[in-house]
Chain A
Amino acid sequence: MTLPALSPLALDRAEYRRSRARRSTRIALLSTVVFATALAVGLVNTPGWPRVQQTFLDPQDAWAALPAVLTGLWLNIRVLVVAEIGILILGLAIALLRTLRGPVFFPVRALAIGYVDLFRGVPLLIALYLIGFGVPGLRLQGVPTDVAVLGTIALILVYSAYVSEVFRAGIESVHPSQRAAARSLGLTHRQSMRLVILPQAVRRVLPPLLNDFVALQKDVGLISVLGAVDAIRAAQIQSALLFSFTPYVVAGLLFVLLAIPTGRVADAVAARAARRESA
């Protein structure tokens, strides 16, 4: 099927719209350049600039620190992936436990609620110290002593509490009539949950879940307080060797680079969810 040819009027209007678009791009570009130049000039002319540049932004130090910091970042990424998987599983499990009805499950529900209250309230740093230094102190057989592993466990425990609440909000946001429809077809509680409620709930909470993922990306850096040689710890070591703060800047930039794609994905997913809601 071919579309009918556009009228001269429509062609004229399309051309006008294109020229407006080109103009907008030019203005945006120009204003960005002006703004960035003003910022740079302002910064460079501050009295302390040469010193700051030397200690924070030395290219040679940056280059020297990069390999060690990158090696550290690789640990962060591994921790991130393992923690995220653990968080999604544990968070979902806790949310599902809280949906169980009936008196038999009272202790399970109470436990889940207590868990969320505890780990949502405790500062991450304290959880890291308690698990990272406390658990090995027990000297139990078979308990991991690797600080990276313990740090990952602490992250999973704390973040699962948040993520379970996100899942629970999603489950509760699915209208009760959906459950009624599933039950009326003869699906059991578990089948309704798995096939009808959860798919809709997860779709709805994807944007906040990704948001939590971005937050986790930064918080994996906190395992450095346990002595795990991650990007931040590596930067600290390099900083001591080079007498320069530049390695921290390198590590910071790397974390930012890591977060940008996830942030964009989160935005796109949120936009898509909003479109679907309004459709």
Chain B
Amino acid sequence: MTPVLEVHGLVKRYGDATVLGGIDLTVAESEVVTLIGASGSGKSTLLRCVDLLEEIDDGRILLDGEDVSDPRRGSRAAAEAQRRMAIVFQAFNLFPHMTARQNVALAPRVVHRLTADEANERADELLHRVGLESFAGAHPDRLSGGQQQRVAIARALAVRPRLLLLDEITSALDPELVGEVLAIVRELARGPVTILMATHEMGFAKQVADRVCFLDGGTILESGPPEQVLGSPREARTQEFLARVIAAGRLV
């Protein structure tokens, strides 16, 4: 069966700096793959490249076996591919001028061309799923960080993505709000969704991931089942990184 996502030799440069130096990565149907690595190792950049928000300098990105990174396909095809993926950002990026419901219903309405009623219905259903049905009419500035991030997850799910990209979705949150967001992802991970996510929460990665990839200086240094990569890493760099994380108290 074709994997949902295949990344071959992905290179991304900003000016002279090579941020991603040849990434190879495969994510199979309903697999949950976690990216870990130090700050600046390129996790966010990789996710943004996969979501076609950044132009790549080399390599290919295949979604369901189809090369979506080919610039010759044009911006319309890119938008079409983006519709099959959804990303949740570190900083939520909700639309401040819309209520929670409008945020979630926007893509179903204008991209999937549902009627306003159908889109609102889908939005309410998803807001219920993330436990925020009572905040459907609230604007983002009236919500806590954790609530905003849950709306952002609902918004991403509203497009019924083949591939869900999560970029350190808890690192902008106060510690007591992390749990409510992770609980939702844990719930999702049990279902049929295919997820590629970057995280600093090693304990969480251990629980939900089928596979963990350790990113270092723009390459995947080590990848494998969580018990192996997090439990008995082969590479010295991975060991160092995990030692630092444990010292910081984040490997629960």
Contacts and interface: CB of A to CB of B under 8 A. Distances in A.
Interface in B194-218: none
A185 B53 contact: no
Contact of A184 (B86, B91, B94, B141): B86
Contacts of A184: 51, 53, 82, 85-87
Given A178-B93, A196-B95, A203-B97, A187 B53 contact: no
A186 B159 contact: yes
B106 A177 contact: no
A177 B110 contact: no
A180 B79 contact: no
Contacts of A189: 75
Given A177-B89, A177-B91, A195-B106, A183 B97 contact: no
Of B85, B89, B95, B141, most A-chain CB atoms within 10 Å: B95
Interface in A175-197: 177-178, 180-189, 191, 195-196
Interface in A157-210: 177-178, 180-189, 191, 195-196, 199-200, 203
A200 B96 contact: yes
Contacts of B122: none
Contacts of B79: 183, 186-188
Given A186-B159, A279-B141, A181 B110 contact: no
Q: How large is the interface on B (under 10, 10 to 19, 20 to 34, 35 or more residues)?
A: 20 to 34
A187 B93 contact: no
B12 interface: no
Interface in B145-169: 155, 159
Interface string A35-72: 00000000000000000000000000000000000000
A276 B79 CA distance: 33
Nearest to B152: A181
Given A186-B80, A187-B79, A180 B106 contact: no
B93 A177 contact: yes
B107 interface: yes
Interface of A: 177-178, 180-189, 191, 195-196, 199-200, 203, 276, 279
Given A187-B106, A187-B110, 14 more contacts: A180-B53, A180-B93, A183-B53, A183-B82, A184-B85, A185-B106, A186-B80, A186-B83, A186-B159, A188-B75, A196-B95, A199-B97, A200-B97, A203-B97
The 9 A-B residue pairs whose C-beta atoms are closest, nearest first, are A186-B83, A181-B93, A185-B107, A186-B111, A184-B87, A186-B82, A177-B93, A199-B97, A180-B53
18 contacts: A180-B93, A181-B94, A181-B95, A183-B53, A184-B85, A184-B86, A185-B82, A185-B83, A185-B107, A185-B155, A185-B159, A186-B83, A186-B111, A187-B107, A187-B111, A188-B75, A195-B106, A196-B95
